């Protein structure tokens, strides 16, 4: 039995209005990460159907949150809505027309993941002129055994997957707390890195804003830039 016929839909105009007016709404793309990364509305959160039972209680802790479920016509949205209702969510709707409905209504679609946070990182760097160093310059500092410490702002599991030799795992939320302990000498240069750019920029600027006396810079383009630099 399916609840699809019982589910209401919400239109592009309705969802757009809710987003612009900052109403509580969870616009959920239930496709897998790869198709989501190729094309999705800016504020659509990726919550794949395959992980819904595991992730929904964590990422959607309030059972009464208004949820709008989106797919690209694969039939995933209706199945996801049914599962969400069975998990106790009380305000679940399908997005009218799916991804193509968003496009046809004039909605912009974005590529990549975590687009809003990445855009915020670029804005911070542009406005605050967050200092950064290229991989070659950081490597030269390490090779000369300069007074420098590299703090990796990613999650620990990401750090374990690949990291810059000699770097220290300090997930972003811990940077301001631990920076003075890890670099007690105010002349020690602190380099903040992540996988790409965003967490490097935000981490470095957070330390600067917190008044850390050390010279601080982001590793330009993170471990990705480091790898590309050889």
- The backbone torsions φ and ψ at residue 214, rounded to the nearest 5 degrees and listed phi first, read -70, 150
Q: With contact defined as beta carbons under 8 Å apart, do 48 and 35 qualify?
A: no
SS3 (DSSP) at 28: strand
pLDDT tens digits, one per residue of 71-98 = 999 999 999 999 999 999 999 999 999 9
pLDDT tens digits, one per residue of 101-140 = 999 999 998 887 777 778 888 888 889 999 999 999 999 9
DSSP label at 49? G
Tell me the domain boundaries of the chain. Answer: 4-113, 118-228
Cα separation, 49 vs 53, whole angstroms: 8
What six digits make up the tokens of 6? 């019982």
pTM of structure: 0.65
Instruction: Write down the CATH superfamily of domain 118-228.
Output: Rhodanese-like domain (3.40.250.10)
What six digits make up the tokens of 135? 């991989």
Q: With contact defined as beta carbons under 8 Å apart, do 41 and 109 qualify?
A: yes
The CATH number of 4-113 is 3.40.250.10
Q: With contact defined as beta carbons under 8 Å apart, do 91 and 65 qualify?
A: yes
Q: With contact defined as beta carbons under 8 Å apart, do 41 and 102 qualify?
A: yes
């Amino acid at each position: 039995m399916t609840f699809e016929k019982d589910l209401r839909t919400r239109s592009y105009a309705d969802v757009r209005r809710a987003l612009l007016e900052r109403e509580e709404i969870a616009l959920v793309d239930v496709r897998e990460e790869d198709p989501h990364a190729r094309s999705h509305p800016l504020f659509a959160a990726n919550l794949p159907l395959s992980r819904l039972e595991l992730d929904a209680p964590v990422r959607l802790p309030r059972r009464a949150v208004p949820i709008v479920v989106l797919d690209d016509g694969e039939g995933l949205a209706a199945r996801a809505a049914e599962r969400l209702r069975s998990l106790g969510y009380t305000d679940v709707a399908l997005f009218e027309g799916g991804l193509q409905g968003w496009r046809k209504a004039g909605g912009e679609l974005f590529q990549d993941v975590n687009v809003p946070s990445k855009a915020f990182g670029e804005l911070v760097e542009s406005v605050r002129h967050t200092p950064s160093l290229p991989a070659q310059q950081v490597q030269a500092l390490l090779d000369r055994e300069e007074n420098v410490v590299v703090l990796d702002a990613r999650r620990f599991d990401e750090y374990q997957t690949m990291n810059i030799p000699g770097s220290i795992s300090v997930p972003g939320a811990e940077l301001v707390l631990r920076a003075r302990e890890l670099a007690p000498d105010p002349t020690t240069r602190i380099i903040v890195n992540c996988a790409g750019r965003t967490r490097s920029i935000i981490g470095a600027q957070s330390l600067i804003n917190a008044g850390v006396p050390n010279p601080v810079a982001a590793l330009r383009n993170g471990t990705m830039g480091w790898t590309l630099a050889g």
